[in-house]
Amino acid sequence: MLRVALPNKGALSDIASTMFKEAGYLQRRDNRELVIIDPDNNVEFFYLRPRDIAVYVGRGILDVGITGRDLYRDADVDDAVEELLPLGIGKSAFRFAAPVGTFSSVDELDGKRIATSYDVLLDHYLKETGINASVVRLDGAVESSVRLGVADAIADVVETGNTIKAAGMEIFGPPLLASEAVLLGRTDHKPSGLEVLIRRLSGVLVARQYVMLDYDVRVEQVEQAAALTPGLESPTVSPLQDSDWCAVRAMVQKSQTNNIMDELYELGARAILVSQIHACRI
Ligand SMILES: Nc1ncnc2c1ncn2[C@@H]1O[C@H](COP(=O)(O)OP(=O)(O)OP(=O)(O)O)[C@@H](O)[C@H]1O
Ligand SMILES: O=P(O)(O)OC[C@H]1O[C@H](OP(=O)(O)OP(=O)(O)O)[C@H](O)[C@@H]1O
Ligand SMILES: [Mg+2]
């Protein structure tokens, strides 16, 4: 049975669970459940602190897990664990911030104190860039640390930037890391069932990213229309009863749907229909 770790609470918990539901797996109904078995898919789910998930996978106790890239890097398990699939959800940036007007570049951090909950990640960055600052490890709410006098700047997760702003701070310097939820696995072991899991999650990613476009177009314009909607392999072109026209069907990127529809219409395509993809295997 494949043993999978999922975040038990926090920013990644619901979105990870939803993704597994969309991939056809059983998920817990009650947030207090810590373990559930999905007998039909031969998978056991363990709901754990997102910060601990890379540790369980790295030590070989669990086969795979979902957590944030930032938390994975901070767990310092690099040799044992690898990213199998980025999931495009739970996106954030790991950034420096300080009270408005105090810092404008990372070089100015030399000799200063930086508060963070991600001390390993920050240490690596400081070593790589040769900045000689001291790291103050805090458990959370690091935005308060400068006002309270324990640090001069912070390094923290930023999503909307609202928390930083509300604390009278601003970000400065380049992001230390671009993070998102990732599927982690062990470097030395590929358990049975893993390939199917990856294929299912990839199917969810594609189903979320693409829509199905159907339209009718005159035969002489079909080449031009197909160039606008090349699909993944090639669009399906079917004859219509009226032999001057044909029907075309292709997957297109959700974000480009309306632009493509406008261009198709200009070209003379009609009955342009968009439908949602619920699931797929590519
Ligand atoms: N708006 C957000 N706030 C916090 N974390 C976010 C946000 N968006 C994405 N994330 C990601 O969620 C993960 C942190 O999750 P979570 O907040 O559950 O952990 P935690 O801070 O260790 O736990 P807690 O806040 O419950 O003590 C990180 O990978 C982070 O990049
Ligand atoms: O840019 P924003 O959208 O405002 O989100 C980022 C904030 O969310 C996280 O805090 P969390 O709620 O996890 O609390 P914590 O700092 O105590 O972990 C993070 O540490 C920031 O404070
Ligand atoms: Mg948090």
Same domain, 67 and 190: yes
Residue with CA nearest ligand 1 atom 23: 10
Which ligand 1 atom lies nearest to the CA of residue 160?
Answer: 1
Percent of residues, the chain, with pLDDT higher than 70: 100
Residue 225 lies in a domain: yes
Write down the pLDDT at residue 25.
Answer: 98
Which residues does a 6 A CB cutoff place in the pocket of ligand 2?
140-141, 143, 156-163
Q: Is residue 129 located within the same domain as residue 155?
A: yes
The answer to whether residue 183 scores a pLDDT higher than 90 is yes
Same domain, yes or no: 26 and 39: yes
For residue 11, is pLDDT > 80?
yes
Q: Which domain holds residue 226?
A: 209-276
Residue of minimum CA distance from atom 22 in ligand 2: 163
Q: Which ligand is nearest to the CA of 159?
A: 2
pLDDT at 268: 97
Q: What is the mean pLDDT of the chain?
A: 97
**Same-domain status, 23 and 55:** yes
Inter-residue contact 169 to 100 (CB < 8 Å):
yes
- Let me know whether 97 and 148 are in one domain: yes
Q: Decide if 18 is inside a domain.
A: yes
Question: Token pair for residue 79?
Answer: 């040799």
Degrees to nearest 5, angle at CA 141 with 136 and 143: 75
Q: What is the mean pLDDT of residues 177-181?
A: 98
Mean pLDDT score, 108-125: 98
Ligand 2 atom closest to Cα of residue 161: 1
| C-alpha 254 to ligand 2 mean position (Å) | 30
Could you tell me if the CB of 181 is within 6 A of ligand 1? no
Task: Provide the number of structural domains found in the chain.
Answer: 3
- What is this model's ipTM? 0.94
The yes-or-no verdict on residue 151 having pLDDT over 80 is yes
Query: What distance in angstroms lies between residue 141's CA and the mean position of ligand 1's atoms?
Result: 11
State residue 216's pLDDT score: 98
235, part of any domain: yes
Hey, which residues does 182 pair with through a beta bridge?
67, 86
pTM of the model: 0.92
Indicate which ligand has the atom closest to the C-alpha of 9.
1
Ligand 2 atom closest to the CA of 156, numbered from 1: 20
Q: Residue 181 pLDDT more than 90?
A: yes
Q: Using an 8 Å Cβ cutoff, are 81 and 125 in contact? A: no
Write down how long the chain is: 282
Residue 22 DSSP SS3: helix
Q: How far apart are CA 179 and CA 157, in angstroms?
A: 9
In one-letter notation, the amino acid at residue 209 is Q
Please give the pLDDT value at position 78: 75
For residues 159 and 185, state if they share a domain.
Answer: no
The residue type at 90? G
Is 245 within the bounds of a domain? yes
Q: Is the CB of 95 under 6 A from ligand 1?
A: no
- Looking at the predicted structure, is the pLDDT value of residue 282 above 90? no
